[in-house]
C-alpha cells in the first residue's frame, strides 16, 4: 500500500475545503445513522454535497443537528491521510464495510485500471481520489442548506438516494455575504415573481416544461421582441417564418438528429416520420436553397423569433430556465468568406445596442469558444474551415476590442463562436448572445451561389442569437430587475388610482388620454382605501402611479408617484404624458432616490 498526500489532486484551496467537508458530512451522517450507505460526495460550485441511502427520509430539522455534529468533528483537528490500495483488497474492504455503492465504484476503477485510494480522518475511511485540506482545523465556514432526491449515478433507472447540500467558504464573512445574496435571490426568483406579477403559468393538463404567458407576460415578451426587431432591421436583417415540424431527414442531413437523439420530439403521421424542430437553422438553409443565388445577392440575413422543441427529462425541467417549448431568437446570415468579418461586426453592434437598452452592456466578458483538440470527432466540418473561422473571430474580437478569452471545448457542433457572458444584478454569469461561424453546414445541404466568374461557390453561415431563448432570458431578466422593469418594458406602465368612487370618471379620462399617447395604463377603481391601492400597485411594481382626487380633478392634474423614486408631486396630465412617452421611447433605465 502506497501512502498518498492529503493535498493530491487539489487544484484550488476552496475546492479542497469543500471536498473535505463532504467527508465530514458523511462522518456526521454515519454518527446519526450507522447503517447509512454512502454514495458520492464531491465539491461543487459554492459548496459540496453527499448522497446517502438512509433508513428514513430526512426532514429539514435534521440539518441543524447534522451541522452541529460536523462542527464538533471539525474541532477535533483530524488529519486526512491517504493510501493507495490494490483493487481486490479495496473491493473486499468495502464489501466488509457493507457499502455497495462504493463497491460498485471500486469495481469500475479496477476495470478501468485506475488507482484506488482511500482517505482516513479519525475513525472514518472513504473511497476517494483525494483533494483535501491537511486537517479539519483548515476547514473554513460552512452551512448545510437543503435536502434533495438524487438517482444513483444520475440514472432514473437506479435507486433514488438522499442528497444533502452545503455551502462553504474560507471565512464567515464570505459565507454571510453568500447567504445574504441567496436570500436576495429567493426574493427575485422568477418562479415566485412570475406568479405574483401574473406573467406566466403552467398546467399539469398541458404538460411540464410548457409555459403559458398571460397578457402581462406576453406584453413583456412582445416589448423585447419589438426592441430586437427594431435594432436588427437597422442592420438589414429580414424576418422569415418557418413551420414547427419537419421530416427527420432534414436533421439527419444537418447532423442534429445524432446530436439531440432521444431529445427529438416525434410527430406521428401516416405519410412519413416528422419531428418538432429542435433548431431552426436547417429550415433557413432551405429558404436560401429555394432559388439560385449570385455573389451579388449576398449577404442574405434571415431572422425570426420562433418556437423549437426538446424532449427534456422531467427531472431536468424547472421554471422558465429549462423547458420543452423554447421560443428562440434566431438569425442566420448567408455570406461570402470575404464578408464574414464585417457581418460578424454588425451582429456585435446589434448585441451592444440591445443590451445597452437593458443596462447590461459593459458588465460582461466575451469567450472565443473553440474546439477541444482532444475530441475532434465531436464536431462536423473540415480542419481548414474550422481554423479559418477561429482566426476570423479572433480578428473580430481584436478589431472591436472585445478581448475575447479563448475557451477550448466550448464550440458548437459546426463552428467556433463568440459567446457574450453577462453578469446579472446578483453577480451570476449568464451566457446569452452568440456569434458563430459555420463552414460545415452549407456543403451538407449543397448550398451554392454563382461567383463573379460564374463558378459555383459555397456560402458560409453566421449563426446569431441576441437574447437566445425568450423563456430563459425572461427568467434572467425578471430576476435581474426583481420584477421592477424599466418603463419601456413594463407590462403595466401606469396605474391610475382614484381616491374615491366619484373620481373614477376622471381616472378613466386620464387612462384614455395616456393610452392614446401610446402608454399601457390601468385604473384601480375598486372601493378601497387609497393607501391599499398604492401598496398593491407597488407590489405589482407598476413604474408610475397617478393618484387623483377632488383636488386633482379640479386642477386637471395628478399626484405622481414613482415605484423607484416615491412621491414626485403634482403634475399636469399633458406634462406627465409627454415625459412618460419620452422616457419609454428613449428606453430610460429606472433611477432610485
169 with 246, same domain: the answer is no
Backbone angles phi, psi at 116, to 5 degrees: -110, 120
| Average pLDDT, integer, range 413-418 | 88
Q: How far is CA 101 from CA 124, 128, 473, 579, in A?
A: 17, 13, 39, 66
Cell of 52: 446517502
Query: Which residue has 458560409 as its cell numbers?
Result: 460
- CA dihedral over 306, 310, 313, 314, signed as positive or negative: positive
pLDDT at position 5 over 80: no
> What CATH number has the domain bearing residue 95?
3.30.980.10
> What pLDDT does 273 receive?
85
pLDDT at position 593 over 80: no
Cell of 189: 426568483
Do 66 and 144 touch, CB atoms closer than 8 A?
yes
In a domain, 367, yes or no: no
Q: Which of 186, 217, 252 is the last residue of a domain?
A: 186
46 with 89, same domain: the answer is yes
Q: Which residues on adjacent β-strands are paired with residue 322?
A: 318
Q: Which residues on adjacent β-strands are paired with residue 495?
A: 522, 545
- CA dihedral over 63, 314, 194, 470, signed as positive or negative: positive
pLDDT at position 204 over 70: yes
530 with 453, same domain: the answer is no
In a domain, 191, yes or no: no
> What pLDDT does 6 receive?
40
As a whole number, the mean pLDDT across the chain is 92
| Average pLDDT, integer, range 286-303 | 97
Instruction: Categorize the per-residue pLDDT at 8 as very low, low, confident or very high, splitting at 50, 70 and 90.
Output: very low
User: Rounded to an integer, what distance in angstroms lies between the CA atom of residue 104 and that of residue 112?
Assistant: 12
User: Rounded to an integer, what distance in angstroms lies between the CA atom of residue 413 and that of residue 372?
Assistant: 11
140 with 19, same domain: the answer is yes
In a domain, 364, yes or no: no
Q: Which residues on adjacent β-strands are paired with residue 326?
A: 308
Query: Which residue has 442574405 as its cell numbers?
Result: 300
- Of 26-35, 222-231, 381-390, which gets the smallest average pLDDT? 381-390
pLDDT by residue (tens digit) across 239-279? 999 999 999 999 999 888 888 888 898 988 888 889 999 99
Q: How many CA atoms lie within 13 A of 42 on its CB side?
A: 4
Do 530 and 482 touch, CB atoms closer than 8 A?
no
> What CATH number has the domain bearing residue 268?
3.30.930.10
Cell of 583: 422616457
Q: Which residue has the higher pLDDT, 287 or 2?
A: 287
pLDDT at position 9 over 80: no
User: Rounded to an integer, what distance in angstroms lies between the CA atom of residue 421 and that of residue 43?
Assistant: 24
> What pLDDT does 592 receive?
61
126 with 105, same domain: the answer is yes
User: Rounded to an integer, what distance in angstroms lies between the CA atom of residue 110 and that of residue 115?
Assistant: 8
User: Rounded to an integer, what distance in angstroms lies between the CA atom of residue 74 and that of residue 138?
Assistant: 9
157 with 59, same domain: the answer is yes
464 with 499, same domain: the answer is no
Cell of 549: 382626487
> What pLDDT does 61 receive?
96
Query: Which residue has 482511500 as its cell numbers?
Result: 118
- Residue 358's SS3 state is coil
Instruction: Categorize the per-residue pLDDT at 381 as very low, low, confident or very high, splitting at 50, 70 and 90.
Output: confident
User: Rounded to an integer, what distance in angstroms lies between the CA atom of residue 90 and that of residue 174?
Assistant: 39
505 with 472, same domain: the answer is no
How many structural domains is the chain composed of? 3
In a domain, 487, yes or no: no
Whole-prediction pTM: 0.82
Q: Which of 186, 212, 245 is the last residue of a domain?
A: 186
124 with 178, same domain: the answer is yes
Q: Which of 161, 186, 211 is the last residue of a domain?
A: 186
Query: Which residue has 463568440 as its cell numbers?
Result: 418
Q: What residues contact residue 256 under an 8 Å CB cut-off, 6+ apart? A: 278, 279, 282, 413
> What pLDDT does 10 receive?
39
295 with 443, same domain: the answer is yes
Q: What percent of the chain has pLDDT over 70?
A: 98
In a domain, 540, yes or no: yes
In a domain, 361, yes or no: no
Q: What residues contact residue 292 under an 8 Å CB cut-off, 6+ apart? A: 450
> What pLDDT does 372 receive?
87
Our CA angle for 572, 576, 578, nearest 5°, is: 120
Query: Which residue has 430526512 as its cell numbers?
Result: 58
Q: Which domain holds residue 576?
A: 494-585
User: Rounded to an integer, what distance in angstroms lies between the CA atom of residue 451 and that of residue 592?
Assistant: 57
> What pLDDT does 117 receive?
95
440 with 462, same domain: the answer is yes
pLDDT by residue (tens digit) across 81-138? 999 999 999 999 999 999 999 999 999 999 999 999 999 999 999 999 888 999 999 9
Secondary structure in 3-state letters for 540-566: CCCCEEEEECHHHHHHCEEEEEECCCE
Q: Which residues on adjacent β-strands are paired with residue 548?
A: 498
182 with 217, same domain: the answer is no
| Average pLDDT, integer, range 559-567 | 95
In a domain, 371, yes or no: no
Q: What percent of the chain has pLDDT over 90?
A: 82
Instruction: Categorize the per-residue pLDDT at 424 as very low, low, confident or very high, splitting at 50, 70 and 90.
Output: confident
pLDDT at position 316 over 80: no
Do 553 and 559 touch, CB atoms closer than 8 A?
no
In a domain, 152, yes or no: yes
pLDDT at position 7 over 80: no
Query: Which residue has 489532486 as its cell numbers?
Result: 9
The separation between CA 369 and the C-alpha centre of its own chain, rounded to angstroms, equals: 18
Amino acid at each position: 500500500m502506497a501512502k498518498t498526500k492529503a493535498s493530491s489532486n487539489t487544484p484550488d484551496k476552496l475546492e479542497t475545503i469543500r471536498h473535505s467537508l463532504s467527508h465530514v458530512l458523511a462522518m456526521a451522517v454515519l454518527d446519526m445513522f450507522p447503517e447509512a450507505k454512502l454514495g458520492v460526495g464531491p465539491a461543487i460550485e459554492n459548496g459540496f454535497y453527499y448522497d446517502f441511502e438512509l433508513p428514513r427520509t430526512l426532514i429539514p430539522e435534521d440539518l441543524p443537528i447534522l451541522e452541529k455534529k460536523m462542527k464538533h468533528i471539525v474541532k477535533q483537528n483530524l488529519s486526512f491521510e491517504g493510501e493507495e490500495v490494490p483493487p481486490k483488497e479495496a473491493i473486499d474492504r468495502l464489501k466488509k464495510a457493507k457499502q455497495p455503492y462504493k463497491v460498485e465504484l471500486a469495481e469500475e476503477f479496477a476495470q478501468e485500471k485506475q488507482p484506488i485510494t482511500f482517505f482516513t480522518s479519525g475513525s472514518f475511511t472513504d473511497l476517494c481520489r483525494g483533494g483535501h485540506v491537511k486537517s479539519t482545523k483548515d476547514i473554513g465556514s460552512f452551512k448545510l442548506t437543503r435536502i434533495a432526491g438524487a438517482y444513483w449515478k444520475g440514472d432514473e433507472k437506479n435507486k433514488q438516494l438522499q442528497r444533502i447540500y452545503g455551502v462553504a467558504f474560507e471565512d464567515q464573512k464570505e459565507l454571510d455575504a453568500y447567504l445574504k445574496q441567496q436570500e436576495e435571490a429567493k426574493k427575485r426568483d422568477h418562479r415566485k415573481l412570475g406568479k405574483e406579477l401574473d406573467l406566466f403559468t403552467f398546467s399539469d393538463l398541458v404538460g411540464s416544461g410548457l409555459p403559458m404567458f398571460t397578457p402581462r407576460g406576453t406584453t413583456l415578451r412582445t416589448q423585447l421582441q419589438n426592441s430586437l426587431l427594431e435594432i436588427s432591421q437597422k442592420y438589414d436583417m429580414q424576418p422569415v417564418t418557418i413551420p414547427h415540424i419537419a421530416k427527420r431527414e432534414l436533421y439527419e442531413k444537418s447532423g442534429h438528429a445524432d446530436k439531440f437523439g432521444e431529445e427529438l420530439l416525434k410527430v406521428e403521421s401516416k405519410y412519413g416520420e416528422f419531428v418538432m424542430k429542435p433548431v431552426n437553422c436547417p429550415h433557413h438553409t432551405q429558404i436560401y436553397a429555394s432559388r439560385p443565388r449570385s455573389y451579388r445577392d449576398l449577404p442574405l440575413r434571415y431572422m425570426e423569433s420562433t418556437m423549437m422543441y426538446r424532449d427534456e427529462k422531467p427531472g431536468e425541467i424547472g421554471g422558465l430556465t429549462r423547458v420543452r417549448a423554447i421560443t428562440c431568437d434566431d438569425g442566420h446570415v448567408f455570406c461570402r468568406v470575404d464578408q464574414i468579418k464585417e457581418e460578424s461586426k454588425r451582429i456585435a453592434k446589434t448585441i451592444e445596442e440591445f443590451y445597452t437598452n437593458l443596462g447590461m452592456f459593459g458588465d460582461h466578458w466575451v469567450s472565443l469558444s473553440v474546439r477541444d483538440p482532444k475530441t475532434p470527432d465531436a464536431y462536423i466540418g473540415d480542419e481548414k474551415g474550422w481554423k479559418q473561422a477561429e482566426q476570423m473571430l479572433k480578428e473580430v474580437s481584436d478589431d472591436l476590442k472585445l478581448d475575447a478569452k479563448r475557451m477550448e471545448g466550448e464550440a458548437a457542433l459546426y463552428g467556433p463562436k463568440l459567446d457574450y457572458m453577462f453578469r446579472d444584478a446578483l453577480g451570476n454569469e449568464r451566457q446569452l448572445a452568440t456569434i458563430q461561424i459555420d463552414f460545415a453546414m452549407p456543403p451538407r445541404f449543397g448550398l451554392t451561389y454563382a461567383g463573379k466568374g460564374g463558378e459555383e461557390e459555397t456560402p458560409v453561415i453566421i449563426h446569431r442569437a441576441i437574447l437566445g431563448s425568450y423563456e430563459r432570458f425572461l427568467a434572467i431578466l425578471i430576476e435581474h430587475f426583481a420584477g421592477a422593469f424599466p418603463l419601456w418594458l413594463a407590462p403595466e406602465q401606469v396605474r391610475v388610482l382614484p381616491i374615491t368612487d366619484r373620481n373614477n370618471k376622471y381616472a378613466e379620462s386620464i387612462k384614455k388620454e395616456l393610452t392614446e399617447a401610446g402608454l399601457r395604463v390601468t385604473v384601480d377603481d375598486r372601493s378601497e382605501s387609497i393607501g391599499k391601492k398604492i401598496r398593491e400597485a407597488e407590489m405589482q411594481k407598476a413604474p408610475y402611479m397617478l393618484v387623483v382626487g377632488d383636488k386633482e380633478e379640479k386642477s386637471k392634474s395628478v399626484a405622481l408617484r414613482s415605484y423607484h423614486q416615491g412621491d414626485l408631486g403634482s403634475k399636469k396630465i399633458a406634462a406627465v404624458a409627454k415625459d412618460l412617452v419620452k422616457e419609454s421611447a428613449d428606453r430610460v433605465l429606472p433611477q432610485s432616490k
